[in-house]
Structure formats: structure tokens, C-alpha cells
Amino acid sequence: MSRKQDRKKRRQRALEDVRLKEHPEHTTKFYYDEQLVRGARVTRFMFVRYTSAFIFFLNLSWFILILSVGSWGCIVPLFNALTAGIALVECMVSVARDYEELKYGEKLYLVSVVLTALVAVFTLVMGRELFFPFLTLPVYGAVFCLVSIAAELLVLRRLKKMRDHTDKRYERYARVSAEASNVS
């Protein structure tokens, strides 16, 4: 949604508020419907938000552990944590402003998946010293990377479904949104 559309929507809400002040019997129903729409929009983004938080804290803990050792490999978990953090912020903004897709989150998650896959391969081939000096075997580091990649791929899959309107929660969101627009 562009800024122009956002301003138009705010103006329409302001006009609706003025109209509802003249008719207080409709006010409760209007705000109830508005909360239903917002709740349906929040549930669409819930999986992305919580999985991004999981990825953020997973990479943040990896960053803190590798930073305590003093390795240059701390750049990768820092980038991955920032990617998840940006996706979290973008997710909250999308819910608040009724956006349908996370532009930056999708692109950054793709880069993060590739980077984490390279780290997994590098760890298996070259050893654990650069990225996982705190683990006993390089295989554990590769498993850690695979868990991170799996979570990121799940987020990317959900974002694609949301963008294409094929997710399970879109039907409810569209129905509630249509009912709310018919009432007002």
C-alpha cells in the first residue's frame, strides 16, 4: 500500500468516525468489526513473526558464543540475526499498515539461506574452528545450520503463500474484511 493509499484510508476512517459520532448505536459494531479485521490480519503474520523471533534468538546466541571466542566467523550469525530482526520489524509494520508482503524480509531470508548453507558446507569441509569453535565435532555445526535453514525456508514458504493469497488464514481475513466493509 502506498503512502497515498494510506492517507486516503486514514481520511476515510476519520470521516467514518465523524459519521459514527452522530450515530452512537453503530460505533460499537464498527470498532468490533475493525478489531476482527485486525485480528485476522495479525493471525496471518503470526507464524512468520514467531519463527523469525526463533531465528533471531538462535543466531543471537550463536553470535554471542562465537564472539566470546573472538573468531571472525561472528559476521555470519550477526547478519542472520539482523535479517530476522528486520523481518520482525517489517512484519509488525505490515500488520499495522495492512501490507500484504515483506519485501526486504523475503530477499534477506534468501541471502541468509545461501549464506548459512555455505557455512554448513565450509564447516564440514574445513573444520569447526572458524564458525563453531565451541563445538566438539563439525557435524554439530552443520546440524545447527540445517535447523536454521529449515526455519528460514519455512518462513519463505509462508511468505510466498501470503503473497499469493493461498495461505489458510487469507480466506478468513478476506471474509471478515468484506463483512466489515459492508457494515460501514
**Owning domain of residue 67:** 3-183
Q: How many domains does the chain have?
A: 1
Q: What is the pLDDT of residue 176?
A: 80
Per-residue pLDDT of the chain (184 residues; tens, 9 = 90+): 577 777 777 777 776 766 656 655 555 666 667 777 788 888 888 999 999 999 999 999 999 999 988 888 999 999 999 999 999 999 989 888 877 778 899 999 999 999 999 999 999 999 889 999 988 899 999 999 999 999 999 999 999 998 898 888 888 888 888 877 775 5
Classify residue 88 by burial, with Cβ atoms within 10 Å: 0-12, 13-18, 19+. Answer: buried
| Residues across the chain | 184
Helix/strand/coil (H/E/C) assignment for every residue in 34-98:
HHHHHHHHHHHHHHHHHHHHHHHHHHHHHHHHHHHHCCHHHHHHHHHHHHHHHHHHHHHHHHHHC
- Look up residue 132 and give its three cell numbers: 563453531
Q: How many CB atoms lie within 10 A of CB 170?
A: 16
The closest of 180, 156, 167 to 43, measured between CA atoms, is 167
- Cα of first residue to Cα of last residue in the chain, in angstroms, is 21
Q: What is the pLDDT of residue 10?
A: 73
Q: What is the pLDDT of residue 131?
A: 92
